[in-house]
Structure 1
Amino acid sequence: MTALSREQIEAAIADYIDPDLKQSLLAAGCVQQIDIDDRHIGIQLQLKHVCASRHDALRSQLSEHLQPLASGRAVEIKLAQQVEAHPSPKKLPALAGVKNIIAVASGKGGVGKSTTTVNLALALAAEGARVGILDADIYGPSQGMMLGVAEGERPETAEEKYFKPIVRHGLQSMSMSYLVDENTPMVWRGPMVSGAMQQLLNQTLWQDLDYLLIDMPPGTGDIQLTLAQRVPVSAAVIVTTPQDIALLDARKGIEMFRKVDIPVLGIVENMSVHICSQCGHEEALFGHGGGERIAADYDTELLGQLPLSMAIREQTDAGTPTVIAAPESAHAERYLAIARRVSAALAEKSAQRGNSIPNIAVELD
């Protein structure tokens, strides 16, 4: 039987580019152990991102990739995933019970940010993560309705000062809509709104979350500034539509996160095309290529494109978002693909920060 070395196996693994990581499993530091004998090749992988729906395909594709080297040996690939905590670039203290905080933001309202947030959260959970949602839109909270939380349902309390998150579809959640009547307007000034957001965040007993998604209000105002200065946000995702006016505001959102040193993982282009329910014809009602252009301009990436779909709207309004209501649908698969890439991109960004060399400035008096 042909002799086989660890270096040969590593070289073969390095040639396989994972579609979620956009790089090899070797380069991403996912290869934990390689065992070789006359009868088999054993590889132990420890993924730093979630992709449970692709585990079988990953094993199959990597095994097939290694077969030319195997020379009759059986290839056995063991695979596990474990999300690591990625500290805030601003070195703020971590939030208890939460490994990573991801802000989902938009420059303007009406682009489907909340719908994207809840489906992204459900997709991350479907891929194997423990996920929570904080609805930070104090003036117009909507996550309660989207998750199917009944009007009037209130969170339980602990020690007379903490809230227990309300759990729906496997997601832990907290929202101002859980604390007040949904018809009560929040006629508050900026500092009061920022204070309420911080209380909801810090006084909720989040339980061992891999990711906490914060559904941000639109714009670049008080809550966004408070979030950047006082909350240990790991990264941000920007939601936009292809419209020029939406892209203009999305640019402002990206610039804001850049100014406060929060990395932007990428752009989600919502309402990218309309697909006719009768004939299947696709039409870009709001323009074409905007998400790609803005991603290129800011050296980030287009995480995915979502169609303008009545089904997505109806399912979310009914409290059973698409990823739960139609898990095998093409729309759900788009959300899953975005979730896998968000998870992988965060792991990659954190690795880059960990390997970076700090700048040293010397000033002469």
Structure 2
Amino acid sequence: MSGAAHDGPALFRPLTIRGLEIRNRVWVPPLCQYSVTARDGVPHDWHLVHLGAMAAGGAGLVIAEATAVNPEGRISDHDTGLWNDEQAAAWSRITRFIRSQGAASGIQLAHAGRKASIWPEPMRRRGSQPIEEGGWPTVSASALAFDGYREPLALDESGIARVVDDFRAAARRAVTAGFDLVEVHAAHGYLVHQFLSPLSNARDDRWGGSLENRARLLLEIVRAVRAEVGAQMPVFVRFSATDWSPGGWDEEQTATVTAWAVDAGADFFDISTGGLVAAADIPVAPGYQAHFAEYVGEHADAPVSAVGRITDARHAEELVSEGRADAVMFGKAMMRDPHFAMRAAHELGAGTSMWPPQYLRAGPEYNDGEW
């Protein structure tokens, strides 16, 4: 992980990954919006403004929400997708604007597995959307349901192969759409995580049992994505570093598989936690997941980002300057204030270099140092 050998706040130093330079370490993680009311997976004006505002607000990297690689992989029927060319064309409008603001754009490629087919208002209605009301059958590593959801079908060999091919095709479309990087979603209890964790994977074939077998799907997806995006585009992986449940996925397994994923072609690791077990007791507090990012980065010798209740610029600066993380993801903080990066730069004395010229008159340099 990066140290503090350069001048200025560590949070606002550029970071180069393969052929991409990212202007700072204030990043936006995937933030599900459940806003595609046409149910066709096509992003629209809401996504342009939502993501574009944070790019204009100074973020170094903006990663678009969990985007399904096939229709049945959507969390809800209001999710974005990247399984056809119409969706790719709509995303290209958004990536052009993000780039015009000096930020890098990423997209999280995802398959929800047994957590698919939920209501499109997950903050208000829980559980699976009934088939007769627009839902669909779900799939997973094993026929083990997430608490309160319908039982999934266990994927067979041909089904697994189709999933890998769908990630491959979505990665190809991500390049066409103009994204600067792709992230494989292997966290939060979704399909790849369902294969990784022994709590959701009870298979006795080459996709289950040993850690090598449980990691096989992820590694095949990473190899497929790398083959499609070429040598210059970064490939990220988002992990949940722990299930917060005895006998489940943990930081040691995460670090081991991270090193394998590097060998398969991944470059950077976005470390979150949880999502596989509904009743997990998670000690939520400011920065409660950051030590998992530090652990994975050190034990896998790989670059990582920290995420989770990090809302203070000085806290984030400490994480990066002390080498505990290479970047920090700001989710809800960015939704509350899309200009969070500009505010953080002011607090840390990093200047206004990432400010849009249209906003400079509101900057501290024109207002007696006041924000």
TM-score (norm 2): 0.36
Q: Report the structure number with the largest CA radius of gyration.
A: 1
Larger strand percent: 1
- Normalised to the residue count of structure 1, the TM-score between the two structures is 0.36
